[in-house]
Structure 1
Amino acid sequence: MLKVIIPTIMLLPTALLSPPKLMWTNTTMHSILTATISLQWLLPTYYPHKNLNQWIGVDQTSSSLLTLSCWLLPLMIMASQNHLQHEPLTRKRLFITTLITIQPLIMLAFSATELTLFYISFEATLIPTLILITRWGNQPERLSAGIYLLFYTLISSLPLLIAILHLHTQIGTLQLTTLKLTPLMPTNTWTNLLLNLALLAAFLVKAPLYGLHLWLPKAHVEAPIAGSMLLAALLLKLGGYGIMRITLLTGPLPNHLHYPFLTLALWGAVMTSSICLRQTDLKSLIAYSSVSHMGLVIAASTIQTHWSMSGAMILMISHGLTSSMLFCLANTNYERTHSRILLLTRGLQPLLPLMATWWLLANLTNMALPPTTNLMAELTIMTALFNWSAPTLILTGTTVFLTASYTLSMLLTTQRGTLPTHITLIQNSNTREHLLMALHITPMLLLILKPELISTAL
């Protein structure tokens, strides 16, 4: 574990002390090497935990998410270069430092085996994210987006803190490995019902559950490209990971706790997919599609079967890479046309033909076309939900249909059609952008060859 965390922390002096000409190259190469080392976490093992000590340990649930978080750091640095090219050197250094600071906190949150440490790192990721959005966002509304993010997250995590303290007084330990061995609490008392709700509240807002999701489109639209990638690919996964961890900890949830969450998650997936059909803002469309996909993750992780947990895990990894790639593509369009409105940025395929290939691949993975891990994840989740209750097939089927509709609509609007008259001169796509897209799509295409690397969640 330390052989990845220490190089990640050593990125800070690399970013601060590198000569100006080599700053981007050094930080990108250093983080790519760290990401390559982190791939060893994916190797299967007979033991339930790898590198286990009193505070942290890597198991099957957290290994793929840890590798994803390491893989995305160099991609976030690469994606931000153009966005920051006109800023002074000190601000560039500060931006990279903020990105690097989030990384160890996310890794701690995914690998913590002690609930207090998990809570502290879960909350601490909020501060650098807030700095990224409020300092480097594009529009003046970024401050209100930051306030939304702050208050939604903080208000929901207060019950989580109280529940963790209550658990400690009841059981005497907060070690996850020990808590798994303690006898399950009776779920029919009011105390335990409230305890379960309090433990889930913070994660349902972070994931986010439909109805508690209003902070997400605002934060996504106002964030810089690295902020959007971070939110979509990693911070939402903290919510899904927390639900998985806590539901496994508290035993089977009582049915009257299941129903509202499942209903809201599946209904939310349908609603947000239909909102996507009439979105005019490209970043907002991708943000709402994230809510729709995470709705399936929440629904799967609340029914707690082996299949549903595996499906939720695969969908989280697949969605992390897909939505991050879509935000990168949206950003390349924005940097050239200075507009996120779909009608003003249409018909770009004749001008940027190679970028249109990346658009096609990203949209096909978002639609869950074979042979992508997204398809495997959605089929696994739909099978698990159908097995739990047959009528869920109507909602999940509608979601899949609507997802295909808005994804095709997004692809056709941005790439086909007549070019708007105001676009007279456009900058060519460059090697950095193509490398960025290739590093997103390659893991998705390779993982389908050995999906058990990311599917074992129990």
Structure 2
Amino acid sequence: MLKIILPTIMLLPTTLLSPSKFLWLNTTTHSLMIAIISLHWLLPTYYPHKATTHWTGLDQISAPLAVLSCWLLPLMIMASQNHLQLDPMPRKRTFIVTLITVQPFILLAFTTTELTLFYIAFEATLIPTLILITRWGNQPERLSAGIYLLFYTLISSLPLLVAILHLHTQVGTLHLTMLKLTHPTLTASWTDLLSGLALLTAFMVKAPLYGMHLWLPKAHVEAPIAGSMLLAALLLKLGGYGIMRITPLMSPLPNYIHYPFLTMALWGALMTSAMCMRQTDLKSLIAYSSVSHMGLVIAASTIQTPWSFSGAMILMISHGLTSSMLFCLANTNYERTHSRTLLLVRGLQPMLPLMSTWWLLANLTNMALPPTTNLMAELTILITLFNWSAPTIILTGTATLLTASYTLSMLLTTQRGQLPSHITSLQNSNTREHLLMTLHILPLLLMILKPELISGAPL
């Protein structure tokens, strides 16, 4: 564990002391080396918590997510280079330092085996994200987006803290390995029902559940590219991971506690897919599609069967890479045309032919076409939901159909059709952007060769 955390912390002096012309090169290569070293976490093991220290340990649920968070740091640094081109050097350093600060907190949140530490790390990720959105966002609305993000997260997570303390008084420990041995005996009393709800609420807002999702499109649209990638690929996964970690601890809870969450998640997947059909803003469209995909993750995690956990896990990893890639593509368009409105950035294929290949690949993975892990994940979740209750196939089936519709519509609008008359010349796509897209799509296509690495199933 320390062989990843220490180099990550050493990235901070690297950023602050690097000569200005080597700043991007040093931080990107250093973080890419950390990402490559972290891949060994995916290796099979017989131990339930490998890489264990007193407070951290990796198992099949946390290892893939920890590797994903290491993998995305160099990609975020690469994606931000053009965005910060005109900034003075101290601001560039501050930006990279902010990005790096999030990393240990996210790793700690995914790998900790103690609930209090998990809560602290879970909340600490909020501060650098807030700085990214409010300091480097594009428009004045970024302040209201930051306030939305802050208050939604804080208001929902205070009950979580109370519930964790309540659990501690009941059981006497908050260590996850101990809690697995001594199941907290939750009864049907009001206090236990409320603590069960409080434990779930914070993660539902973070995930986000439909109805509690209003902060997400705002934050995504106003965030700089690194902020969008961080939100879509990692912070939403904290919600899904929390649900998968906490729900088994509350197993004696009556079933009807999960019904409202399940209903809202599936209804939300359908509604946000329908919303995507009429979005005019490209980043907003991708943000709403994230809500739709995470709805399936929430629905699967609340059913609590091994198959559904496995499907949720694969979908979280696949969605992390896919949505991050889509945001990067939207950003390359924005940097050239200075507009996110779909009507003003249409027909770009003749101008950027190689970029349209990446657009095609990203949209096909978003649609869950074979041979991507997205398909495997969605099929697993659909089968689990159908097995649990047959009528869910109506909601999930329609949502999948709508997903295909808005994804194809996004692809056709941005790439095909008449080039708008106001676009006369565009900067060519460069090697950095192609490398960025390759590092997104390559893991997605390779993971289908050995999906048990990320399926959360015991190896």
* Structure 2 length-normalised TM: 0.99
Corresponding residue for residue 25 of structure 1: 25
Map Cα deviations across residues 96-124 of structure 1 (whole Å, 9 max, x no partner). Answer: 00000000000000001000100000000
Alpha-carbon separation, structure 2, partners of 1:357 and 1:183: 51
Call closer, same or farther: CA 1:435–1:115 in 2, change over 3 Å: same
One-letter amino acid of the structure 2 residue matched with residue 90 of structure 1: P
One-letter amino acid of the structure 1 residue matched with residue 424 of structure 2: T
- Superposed, 1:190-339 pairs within 5 Å as 190-339=190-339
Map Cα deviations across residues 123-177 of structure 1 (whole Å, 9 max, x no partner). Answer: 0000000000000000100000000000000000000000011111111111010
SS in 1 for 2:146: helix
Deviation at 1:255, TM superposition (A): 1.4
Corresponding residue for residue 404 of structure 1: 404
Residues 1:105 and 2:86 aligned together: no
SS in 2 for 1:180: helix
Alpha-carbon separation, structure 2, partners of 1:431 and 1:186: 56
One-letter amino acid of the structure 2 residue matched with residue 220 of structure 1: H
Corresponding residue for residue 74 of structure 1: 74
Corresponding residue for residue 60 of structure 2: 60
Deviation at 1:53, TM superposition (A): 2.4
Alpha-carbon separation, structure 1, partners of 2:358 and 2:252: 42
For the 8 Å contact 2:170–2:184, the answer to whether it is kept is no
Kindly, what percent of the aligned residue pairs are identical?
81
For the 8 Å contact 1:269–1:293, the answer to whether it is kept is yes
For the 8 Å contact 1:207–1:240, the answer to whether it is kept is yes
For the 8 Å contact 1:136–1:224, the answer to whether it is kept is yes
For the 8 Å contact 2:188–2:253, the answer to whether it is kept is no
SS in 2 for 1:328: helix
For the 8 Å contact 1:311–1:381, the answer to whether it is kept is yes
Deviation at 1:51, TM superposition (A): 1.5
For the 8 Å contact 2:186–2:252, the answer to whether it is kept is no
For the 8 Å contact 2:66–2:107, the answer to whether it is kept is yes
For the 8 Å contact 1:65–1:317, the answer to whether it is kept is yes
Moved more, 170-179 or 72-81: 170-179
SS in 2 for 1:56: coil
For the 8 Å contact 2:308–2:381, the answer to whether it is kept is yes
Instruction: Point out 4+ residue stretches in structure 1 off by more than 6 angstroms.
Output: none
Alpha-carbon separation, structure 2, partners of 1:189 and 1:322: 43
Gaps spanning 5+ residues in structure 2: where? Answer: none
One-letter amino acid of the structure 1 residue matched with residue 171 of structure 2: I
For the 8 Å contact 2:206–2:236, the answer to whether it is kept is yes
Map Cα deviations across residues 187-242 of structure 1 (whole Å, 9 max, x no partner). Answer: 42211111110001100000000000000000000000000000000000000000
Alpha-carbon separation, structure 1, partners of 2:144 and 2:163: 30
Deviation at 1:252, TM superposition (A): 4.9
Map Cα deviations across residues 393-435 of structure 1 (whole Å, 9 max, x no partner). Answer: 0000001000000000000000000000000010000000000
Alpha-carbon separation, structure 2, partners of 1:3 and 1:329: 33
Map Cα deviations across residues 325-360 of structure 1 (whole Å, 9 max, x no partner). Answer: 000000000000000000000000001000000000
Deviation at 1:183, TM superposition (A): 3.2
One-letter amino acid of the structure 2 residue matched with residue 374 of structure 1: N
Corresponding residue for residue 131 of structure 1: 131
Matched residue pairs, number? 458
Residues 1:393 and 2:393 aligned together: yes
Gaps spanning 5+ residues in structure 1: where? Answer: none
Alpha-carbon separation, structure 1, partners of 2:186 and 2:223: 44
Alpha-carbon separation, structure 2, partners of 1:324 and 1:108: 21
Residues 1:379 and 2:379 aligned together: yes
Corresponding residue for residue 87 of structure 1: 87
* Structure 1 length-normalised TM: 0.99
